[in-house]
Structure 1
Amino acid sequence: MEKRQHRRIPFRRRVYLIRREGDEQLLESSDFSLTGMAVLSKRSVQVGEKVWLRFEVNTLGKHRQLNVQAEIRHVDLTPHCYRVGVNFLEAR
């Protein structure tokens, strides 16, 4: 049974994941919803960790950079990388 409140859509973008200590990692997103997204990572992250995500969206033909605080909700190991599910907390 699906637990999500909002439908996820395919969303391929470069996403920068920034940890509290300033470590920045370039990732790729796979899908997006109003409340979260999934990103693909070569390195594991901790469930419950709060991070900042920076990525661009195109709204009405204009590129806009978003900075969103997120919480790591789950990490799944795939054959080639980690699939990381994040929940959005705050945007700037």
Structure 2
Amino acid sequence: MILGLEGVSCVGKTTLAAALAAYLNQPAVVPCYCHASPAPTRLPAPEPLTASHQLANMAQFLDIGDLRIARARKVLAEGRDVILDRTVSATP
């Protein structure tokens, strides 16, 4: 089973994912890109100034999306359920 959570920022998706994981016997939670980033403090600014900044930002988020996809696939291959904290940036 793959369960995806969506919503605007800061409404409690991560908190809900943790509560659901506890309730559903601990499926793996794949965190949103912000929490999945190896260096969250280095995420790009939300308002890039140029087209080249936009492309660089997109590349960084796609790399993080690849990490999330790999995590979800690994968990599914183990026969475990997955909760995706935000589905837009990763679809296994």
- The reply to whether TM is greater than 0.5 is no
Structure that is richer in strand per residue: 1
Structure that is richer in helix per residue: 2
State which structure, 1 or 2, has the greater radius of gyration over its C-alpha atoms. 2
TM-score norm. by structure 1 comes to 0.26
TM-score norm. by structure 2 comes to 0.26
